[in-house]
Amino acid sequence: MSSQLQNQPKRLGAGLIILGIVAIVLLMAIPLFVVRDSQFGGSDNAGAKAITAIAPDYNSQWITNFWTPPGGETESMLFALQAAAGGILIGYLFGYLRGRKAAQQSSPDS
Amino acid sequence: MTFHKRLRWSMLLVLPLLLGVRIAWAYPAAAPSSMHIMEGFLPLGWAVFWWLVALPFWIIGFIKVKKLLTEKPEQRLLLGLAGGFIFVLSALKIPSVTGSSSHPTGTGLGTILFGPFVVGILGTIALIFQALLVAHGGISTLGANAMSMAIGGPLIAYGVWRLLRGKAPSYVNVFVTAFVADLATYVITTSQLALAFPDPVSGFMGSWLTFAGIFAVTQIPLAVAEGILTVLIFNALQTSATAEMQALGLQEA
Angle, CA B153 vertex, CA B151 and CA B157 arms, to 5°: 115
Euclidean distance between CA atoms B225 and A28, whole angstroms: 8
Report whether pLDDT(B100) > 90: no
Mean pLDDT of the A84-89 span: 96
Report whether pLDDT(B9) > 70: no
Q: What is the mean pLDDT of chain B?
A: 87
Model confidence band, residue B20 (pLDDT cutoffs 50, 70, 90): very low
Q: Which pLDDT belongs to residue B187?
A: 94
Q: Which pLDDT belongs to residue B11?
A: 46
Euclidean distance between CA atoms A14 and B133, whole angstroms: 39
Q: What is the mean pLDDT of chain A?
A: 84
Query: Between the CA of residue B103 and those of A63, A81, B219, what are the distances in Å?
Result: 24, 16, 8
Q: Which of residues 122-151 of B touch A (CB under 8 A)?
A: 126, 129-136, 138-140
Phi-psi domain of B135 (left: phi exceeds 0; alpha: psi -120 through 50; beta: other): left
Which chain B positions have a beta carbon within 8 Å of A38's beta carbon? 99-100
CB crowding B8-20: b at 16 or more within 10 Å, else e: eebeebbeebeeb
Q: Which pLDDT belongs to residue B109?
A: 98
Euclidean distance between CA atoms B93 and B91, whole angstroms: 7
**In Å, how far is A106's CA from the nearest CA of chain B?**
15
Q: Which of residues 42-81 of A touch B (CB under 8 A)?
A: 42-51, 54-55, 58, 60-69, 75, 78-80
Number of independent structural domains in chain A: 1
Mean pLDDT of the B89-113 span: 91
β-pair partners for B101: B95
> B101 — phi, psi (to 5°)?
-110, 155
Euclidean distance between CA atoms B128 and B91, whole angstroms: 13
pLDDT tens for each residue of A22-41: 999 999 999 998 888 787 87
The reply to whether A59 falls in a domain is no
Euclidean distance between CA atoms A5 and B174, whole angstroms: 14
The reply to whether A76 falls in a domain is yes
Q: Which pLDDT belongs to residue B131?
A: 92
Which chain B positions have a beta carbon within 8 Å of A105's beta carbon? none
Euclidean distance between CA atoms B39 and B141, whole angstroms: 6
**CB-based contact (8 Å) between B60 and chain A?**
no
Sort A96 into a burial class: Cβ within 10 Å, 0-12 / 13-18 / 19+.
middle
Report whether pLDDT(B37) > 50: yes
Report whether pLDDT(B31) > 50: no
**CB-based contact (8 Å) between A96 and chain B?**
yes
The reply to whether A11 falls in a domain is no
Model confidence band, residue B47 (pLDDT cutoffs 50, 70, 90): very high
Report whether pLDDT(B248) > 90: yes
pLDDT tens for each residue of B187-231: 999 999 999 999 999 999 999 998 888 787 889 999 999 999 999
Model confidence band, residue B4 (pLDDT cutoffs 50, 70, 90): low
pLDDT tens for each residue of B142-156: 999 999 999 999 999
Length of chain B: 253
- Quickly list DSSP for chain A: -HHHHHTS-SS--HHHHHHHHHHHHHHHHHHHHH--S------THHHHHHHHHH-TT--GGGS--S---SSHHHHHHHHHHHHHHHHHHHHHHHHHHHHHHHHHHHSTT-
Say whether B238 and A45 touch across the interface (CB within 8 A).
no
The reply to whether A35 falls in a domain is no
Report whether pLDDT(B101) > 90: no
Which chain A positions have a beta carbon within 8 Å of B44's beta carbon? 62
Report whether pLDDT(B23) > 70: no
Q: Which pLDDT belongs to residue B253?
A: 78
**CB-based contact (8 Å) between B208 and chain A?**
no
Lowest mean pLDDT among A106-110, B47-51, B56-60: A106-110
The reply to whether A92 falls in a domain is yes
CA closest to A91 among chain B residues: B81
The reply to whether A75 falls in a domain is yes
The reply to whether A85 falls in a domain is yes
The reply to whether A77 falls in a domain is yes
Q: Which pLDDT belongs to residue B32?
A: 35
Mean pLDDT of the B171-195 span: 95
The whole model's pTM is what? 0.85
Report whether pLDDT(B16) > 70: no
Q: Which pLDDT belongs to residue B27?
A: 36
Q: Which pLDDT belongs to residue B5?
A: 58
Q: What's the domain range around A76? A: 71-105
Q: Which pLDDT belongs to residue A44?
A: 52
CB B90 within 8 A of CB B103: yes
Q: Which pLDDT belongs to residue A97?
A: 96
Sort A3 into a burial class: Cβ within 10 Å, 0-12 / 13-18 / 19+.
exposed
CB pairs under 8 A between A and B: 205
CA closest to A80 among chain B residues: B91
